[in-house]
Structures are given as C-alpha cells and as structure tokens.
Amino acid sequence: MGLFDRLFGEFVDVIEWTDDSSDTLVYRFPRQGNSIKYGAKLTVREGQVAVFVNEGQVADVLEPGMYELETNNLPLLSSLQAWPHAFNSPFKAEVYFCSTRRFTDLKWGTRNPLMIRDSEFAMVRLRAFGSYVMRINNGERFLREIVGTDGLFSVDEISEQLRNLIAARFAAVVAEAQIPVLDLAANYEKLSDFITAQIAPEFSEYGLEITKLLVENISLPSDVEAALDKRTSMGIIGDLDRYIKVQTGSAMQSAAENPSGGASDGMGMAVGMAAATQMMRPGVLGQGDVPPPLLPVVRVHVARDGTATGPFTLPQITQQVEAGELSADTLVWYKSLGEWMRADEAPVVADLFDDQQPPPIPSA
C-alpha cells in the first residue's frame, strides 16, 4: 500500500455499508490499522445495525440512522478508550454491520427417514422437508456466539446447523403430536406453528429469530406408498362382484373387437377364470347343480388362396359358415391340431357343418 493510500485511510471519515449481495449476514468495515477518525460520519441503513468492537469487547450497538462519532454519541466506547488530546486523535475499533432483514426460502429437511409409531400402521418411516425465514434480532449476541472475528459471514456458514436443528425438533414434535400418518397432510399448518414455537428459544440463543417455518411435504417410503395406492384402489372398486362382472364383459367385448390382437388369448383365459370364480360362489348355483363347462377359447386360422388368415374366434367362424364364406373343405388349423385339416374333420369346427335334421315332432 502506497503512502497516499495510507494517508487516505487515516482521514476518510465516512463509514457505511451498501450490501448488494443476497446472503451476507455480517460485514466488517475495512479500515487502515482499524483506525477511525474522531468525528467521522457513520451511516446505518434500515435493515442494519452497527456493532463496535474495541479490543475484543463489544462497545456499542447503533440502530439505523446517521451518527457523528464523538464522545457524547459513544458513551460506552468513550469509557473504554483513553482518548487523549481532547479526543481529536483517531481511535482504534472494529465496526461490524449486521443485516437485520429477513432471509427467505431457506431449506430444511430430514437427512434420514424418521421412525415413528402410528396408530394405524404400527411403525412407519417418513421424510419431511420445507422452508423457513429467519433474521438477526440481536446483533451483539450473534457476533459473540457465532461470527467471532469473521469479516464476511454468509447464510451458508450457519444454514447447515439451523437445518439440523429444525430436523431434530421436527422428529420430536411429530412423535409428541401423535397425528396419524394419513392425517399429517391436513395438519401441515399446525405442525409448522408448533415447530416454530418450539425452536424459537434455540434460535434466540444465537441472536436469531425464526419468523416463519413451513412444512411443505411429508413422504413415506416407496413400498409403503405403493401399498397405500393399492388400498386406495380397492376402496374405489367398492363392490367386488360387480367389478368382476363389468371387467369380464369388457374383456369379452375387447376380444370380439380385436380377434387378431396379441393379448386376446390371455384375455380370454382371464375372462374364463373370472367367470368360473364368480359361478362357484355360494348362492350363484342352486343346491346340487353342476356348473356348466366353460366355453373353449379357440383361435382358428383359415387357409384362403394359399395364405393363412386369422386367428378367428368360434363366434366369428360360425358367422363365416352361416354366410357361406367358409365351406366344409376349407383347411383350418388351431393350436391343438397337429396339421391343417378340412373344416368338417377338425374337432370343434366340424360341429358347425352337421346337417342332420331333427326327427318329426310327435303328434299330440
């Protein structure tokens, strides 16, 4: 540093801090040799307090306003300093500006899942996160307890400690509140207010004030959420009998509309199983009745012009026979056949070509 800079440092008599950052909590005003001229002008803006530190001791704390650094304006500092020469020589002190504005959208969350007892699920693990707003409400205490001699103290340097503090208190609050897991979402606001009240004294020990804390989400492990989703789905289904009938009808319609679909065979099997289950239930059949056999689910391929077409369902094959589109000598194949056969020789399909006439109706 040159001679001119050193002289300028001795005689500059304006002390102020214009903060253009968004995360600075404390700023120490730089001075050449920490020398402050007697009669210097000090400007403390709204959202700030100025803390004078003399030889390691907090001497004065000034609220927003403009001050002329004289004996009558700094009684504590004046008593600590043995200012000679009618107080006209520079004195040595450090000036720390503390930002008292609110710092918003600070995040908190549980690092690991919390194990709690629940009245409905016995024991569950849950995570929670949210945001909070805090500010410095006691610059002297914050400087003494947290900052020390740090000349530029930012939010990041204390946010981790505050986050852990909130997470620890959240676990205790949830356990004490004994709110069922399914009702937690309806009690976010109450939890927020309760945690704020519980944690305020601990923030105050640091010279901080927590003005607002929000619980934004409480989540369960993925397997527990999947079980809850399944339980919710069953609640929506309601009447299981009616649900099976509707699903069976929908499956049959889909199979008829999409005979060549890849999933038609599996769908037909599901329909048969659902129908069989439904018919075997007590009360569906009369006492001593034998349930009818299930309709065979057959997919038939038909040879036309040397090309295999289909597969077709039996109702569709029946329609083709009735319309004359499929004759007795047409070659057909389905899964249980070893090779292509005439339609009138293939089991199941052959019955569609039975021309036997019924006997005469006996006279009365």
pLDDT in tens, 287-346: 455 555 555 567 888 888 888 888 888 888 888 888 888 888 888 888 777 788 888 888
Where are the strands (E) in 160-228, listed by range? 208-219
Give dist(CA 341, CA 299) in Å, integer: 15
Give dist(CA 13, CA 68) in Å, integer: 10
Query: Is pLDDT at 207 greater than 70 in this prediction?
Result: yes
Judged by average pLDDT, the poorest of 40-49, 176-185, 221-230, 263-272 is 263-272
Q: Give me the mean pLDDT over the 12-26 stretch.
A: 84
Query: Is pLDDT at 275 greater than 80 in this prediction?
Result: no
Give dist(CA 31, CA 93) in Å, integer: 9
Peptide bond into 311 cis (omega under 30): yes
Query: Is pLDDT at 214 greater than 80 in this prediction?
Result: yes
Give dist(CA 253, CA 233) in Å, integer: 24
- At 226-265, the pLDDT tens digits run 777 776 666 655 555 666 666 666 666 666 666 555 444 5
Higher-pLDDT residue of 82, 145: 145
Query: Is pLDDT at 204 greater than 60 in this prediction?
Result: yes
Q: Do the Cβ atoms of 315 and 252 come closer than 8 Å? A: no
Q: Do the Cβ atoms of 294 and 272 come closer than 8 Å? A: yes
Give dist(CA 51, CA 63) in Å, integer: 9
pLDDT at 239: 57
DSSP assignment letter at 147: I
* Measured CA distances, 209 to 18, 21, 132, 162, 351 (Å): 23, 21, 11, 11, 89
Burial 13-35 (b: 16+ CB within 10 A, else e): eebebeeeeeebbbbbbebbebe
pLDDT at 88: 45
pLDDT at 20: 83
Which single residue is written with the structure tokens 């001791």?
57
Spatial CA neighbour of 220 closest among 231, 209, 212:
231
- At 66-104, the pLDDT tens digits run 988 764 555 445 444 544 443 444 566 788 999 999 999
pLDDT at 282: 52
- At 157-203, the pLDDT tens digits run 999 999 989 988 888 888 777 777 778 878 888 888 888 888 899 99
